[in-house]
Structure 1
Amino acid sequence: MNHPLYEYSLCIALSLMIFFGVYFLLARTPDKAIFANYLRSRRIMGCALLLLAANYAVHFFFELRFHHVNAAILMNLSTYFLCYWLFSSALTTLLDRFYITRRRLLFHLAAWVFFTLFSGIILLALPDGAAQKIGLTAMAVWLVCYGLWLARRLIRAYRRAVRLFDDSRSDDIAAYIRWLSIFTYWAVIFGVGCGLLTFLPDRYIFVWILSSIPFYLYLYCSYLNYLLFYEQVEQALEEEMPSEEEAAGMIDSDDMPEHEARPMQSDIAARLSDWIADNGYLNPGLTIRELSEILHTNRTYLSGHIKSAYNLSFRYWITDLRLEYAKRYMLGHPGQNIARIAEAAGFVSPSHFTRIFKAREGVSPTNWRKAQSGNTSVP
């Protein structure tokens, strides 16, 4: 039986999978120790893509789908299960270098073996009928639940990293890892969809193949772009990851040096007010560690004080201070351009300043200044 759309789509997808997989495995990264974790993540992803390519190759060269549909479904389910683990591991390790352990690896490999074994019994040993359909439904539920469980772990790691950045950095470091969140939700939708598309009638199966192409193109481009920002993200993770005592909230002012314990017990608010009055928040790239050193206090206590006093994370608090400064600067310098205002207020770029300003005020800085000029001219 001839299926040209199926064959063409498989040929395109297979070529891309092989290229992406080989690139992720062999492409060079900057010769710095800090990129070791990125390289490990990319190689794991490369293995996942080549595994998918092997799956596509069997379908393309042997037309397994049309000669033994149950064997094709078994191969797809087994491949997806293992790839779920590889995909989630590759992405989670970008945020947690200690995620992959020997125990965790053995657990997931054992789960994959059992899943494949049970799927094989259902598809190849049971006769067609109600029992097989019930068994396939159970395996599909197992596969979906497994994927959701892995996705939940990845999202938790992502949110933990975002909180860490927001509580420690004035710059929006979390913007560099936002693609991980987008890809995870897309992967959940795509993964569930693939499970369903596997059971499509033969004449529609090309939809299953074509739907994977934009998904993996986005992954490939995201990894390439992330290489530009990875060093900055990894440095932030290394520098700002709290110690076990800090993370557990076990730091006691009695255990701290006197020069740190004193402001915690008395004048931290006054010191902060003086620092704000001196416009210390305008320094680009400011971190809570630097501010805690300026104020001679502990960064964990300082972060807690900012949250309780202002009900904001460190980054949002600094951003609000910079926005208020930018407003005053615009009113005091009506002829100054937006790029200079953004630089003076400590923002990383004019576009970033404009985006943040519009999100907070509902209008662009230019329109806000025009509105304010109009208001002041009214008697």
Structure 2
Amino acid sequence: MNHLSFDSIYNYILLYLTIISCIFALSLIVISFPRHHAYKRYQQARYAIVTGLLLTSALCFCHWFFHLRELSAYYSIAINLGVLYLSLSLFIMAFASIIREENVNSKHVERNIIPSIACIIALWGGGFGDRTVRMVVVAVVGIIFVAETSRLCLVLRKALNRYIRAQGQDQQPSANAFVLWIQRSMYWGIAAGMMGIAVILVDKKVAILLLLVFAVFFCYFFVSILNYAMHFEKDTLTQQPSFLSTLQKKNRQIENDIRQWINEKRYTKSKLTLNDVAHQLHTNRTYLSQYINTELNMPFGNWLSQLRLDEAKRMLDENPSLSISAVALACGFSSTSNFSHLFTDLEGMTPQQWRSSRRNKGQL
């Protein structure tokens, strides 16, 4: 083959990747999946995957239409690093959300997406510098890309191990297939991300082979998602009663543990965090936070403050000789001013005024 033939094949593969990834993304939007309240997290994860696929499609289109490889080596690497970093973050965040059985929240987005956007801005800013500046920027972002990818994969791996342990030996064939899909997709995704960067650095003949592997990955990825949506969810729906029974038992256990924790007045310890309480209750912070938000209808911070305020009111009422500052510190508040401010907001009067009103009622 002559040089022109390799260029043509390279461009055809880029066009194919542009079209196929866009079709896959649009299919995930259009295709109807089981709509059950238990799968809200899957819907969110699916949209994260769609966004990642559309970003990849846009990346391939830019390379095909603008011939970025020949136009600018730096911007080719910069665009590939930025887009693939963002797409990989979205994919892993989606996988972790499905495995952990929790919704995607703002903390997940901030922790996983903001670093990738910051790297994209740094890469484009580096383009205005000289050759040395560009090389430094690419090297730094490349190191961050590898480090963050490793961290995300470790997070996913831990979530996967917890899922396998939770399933136990009685897990269904569909669950086994799901685990296998996640594992393969994770490894393929990492490999595809690395290859997407290497495509710019290697000879065009080698780049063609890497792009072909990239194309196979997309096909496997899409078929696996469809398989999960159509079979795994259906099997899980049939198991929903037993799942709810297990969840009810788990809720009852943590309810008893929390009641005992409250009876022991362990909430009066200062500087308590969600992690501290979860550790004391022998559970994880995610489940504890979900339980408090769902069952008690308030965030962890409000719940803890309410417990301390109730204890403070009891002490103010039963121990007239205790000073306001002594009550505040005994109940776990960081300062007297913080206690007074919170007390006034919730009760409509200062702690001293509340104590006086209780004393006046007692005299009547």
Q: Which of the residues 33, 40, 53 maps onto 1:36? A: 40
1:214 aligns with 2:216: yes
What runs of 5+ residues in structure 2 fail to find an aligned partner?
A: 261-364
- Report matched runs for 1:82-231 at 5 Å: 82-122=86-126, 124-129=127-132, 132-166=134-168, 169=170, 171=172, 174-178=175-179, 179-202=181-204, 204-227=206-229, 228-231=231-234
Aligned counterparts of 1:251 and 1:102: Cα–Cα separation in 2: 27
Structure 2 residue aligned with 1:243: 250
What CA deviation, in whole Å up to 9, does each residue of 1:174-219 have, x standing for no partner? 4132211221122223322333333224554333422211111111
Correspondent of 2:64 among 51, 60, 67: 60
Give the drift of 1:84: 1.5
Q: Measured at CA, do residues 65 and 23 of structure 1 come closer, stay the same or move farther in structure 2, by a change above 3 Å?
A: same
Aligned partners of 1:245 and 1:251 also within 8 Å: no
Q: 1:248 to 1:207 in 2, by over 3 A?
A: farther
In structure 2, what is the Cα distance between the partners aligned to 1:87 and 1:152? 14
| Identical positions, percent | 18
Name the aligned partner's letter for residue 14 of structure 1.
T
Q: Which residue of 2 aligns with 1:48?
A: 52
Tell me, yes or no, if the aligned pair for 2:73 and 2:200 is still in contact at 8 Å.
no
- TM-score using structure 1 length: 0.59
Once residues 63 and 114 of structure 2 are traced to their aligned partners in structure 1, the CA distance between those partners, rounded to angstroms, is 26
Aligned partners of 2:166 and 2:139: how far apart in 1?
Answer: 40
Q: Do the aligned residues in 2 keep the contact of 1:35 with 1:231 (CA within 8 Å)?
A: no
Matches of 2:243 and 2:95, distance apart in 1: 15
Distance 2:184 2:136 in 1: 33
- In the aligned structure 2, how far is the partner of 1:170 from the partner of 1:66? 52
Residue equivalent to 1:290: none
Specify whether residues 4 and 165 from structure 1 end up closer, same or farther in structure 2 by C-alpha distance, changes over 3 A only.
same
TM-superposed deviation, 1:171: 4.3
Q: 1:239 to 1:94 in 2, by over 3 A?
A: farther
Can you list the C-alpha shifts for 1:85-104, whole angstroms capped at 9, x where unaligned? 11012211212242521122
Letter in 1 for 2:78: L
Contact 2:44 2:103 (C-alpha < 8 Å) held by counterparts: no
Q: CA RMSD in A?
A: 3.1
**Partner residue in 2 for 1:362:** none
1:107 Cα deviation after fit: 3.4
Checking the alignment, whether the CA contact within 8 Å between 1:165 and 1:172 is kept in structure 2 is no
Letter of the structure 1 residue corresponding to residue 14 of structure 2: L
Structure 1 partner of 2:351: none
| Alignment match, 1:311 | none
Q: Could you say which residue in structure 2 is the equivalent of 1:7?
A: 11
- Which amino acid letter does the alignment assign opposite residue 187 of structure 1? G
Structure 1 residues 28-71: Cα deviation after superposition (integer angstroms, max 9, x where no partner)? 11344444333332222111101110111111122122112222
Offset at residue 14 of structure 1 (A): 1.4
Matched with 2:266 is: none
Paired letter, 2:115: A
CA distance in 2, matches of 1:239, 1:162: 19
RCO (CA 8 Å, sep 6+): is it higher in 1 or 2?
A: 1
1:172 and 1:240 map into 2 onto residues whose CA distance is 20
Q: Does the aligned pair in 2 maintain the 1:198–1:205 contact within 8 Å? A: yes
Q: Distance in 2 between matches of 1:238 and 1:196?
A: 47
Q: Distance in 1 between matches of 2:197 and 2:118?
A: 18
Native 8 Å contact 1:92 1:99 kept in 2 = no
Q: Closer, same or farther in 2 for the Cα pair 1:248/1:205, shift >3 Å?
A: farther
More helix by share: 2
Distance (whole Å) between structure 1 residues aligned to residue 172 and residue 135 of structure 2? 53
Partner amino acid, structure 1, of 2:70: F
**Structure 1 stretch displaced more, 2-11 or 112-121:** 112-121
Counterparts of residues 229-268 of structure 1 (less than 5 Å)? 229-233=232-236, 235=240, 239-241=245-247, 243=250, 246=253
Q: What letter matches 1:150 in structure 2?
A: L
Q: Distance in 2 between matches of 1:173 and 1:160?
A: 17
Deviation at 1:156, TM superposition (A): 1.1
Q: Which moved more, 1:67-76 or 1:237-246?
A: 237-246
In the aligned structure 1, how far is the partner of 2:233 from the partner of 2:74? 43
Does the CA contact (< 8 Å) of 1:197 and 1:205 recur in 2?
yes
Which position in structure 2 is the counterpart of 1:365?
none
TM-score (norm 2): 0.61
**Closer, same or farther: CA 165–142 of 1 in aligned 2, 3 Å:** same
Query: Do 2:41 and 2:104's aligned partners in 1 also have CA atoms closer than 8 Å?
Result: no
- The count of corresponding residues between Structure 1 and Structure 2 is 251
1:23 and 2:34 correspond: no
Structure 1 pair 219–239 and aligned structure 2 pair: CA distance change class (3 A): farther
Q: Aligned partners of 1:184, 1:240: CA distance in 2, in Å?
A: 29
* Cα offset, 1:165, TM superposition: 0.8
Query: What code does the residue aligned with 1:109 have?
Result: I
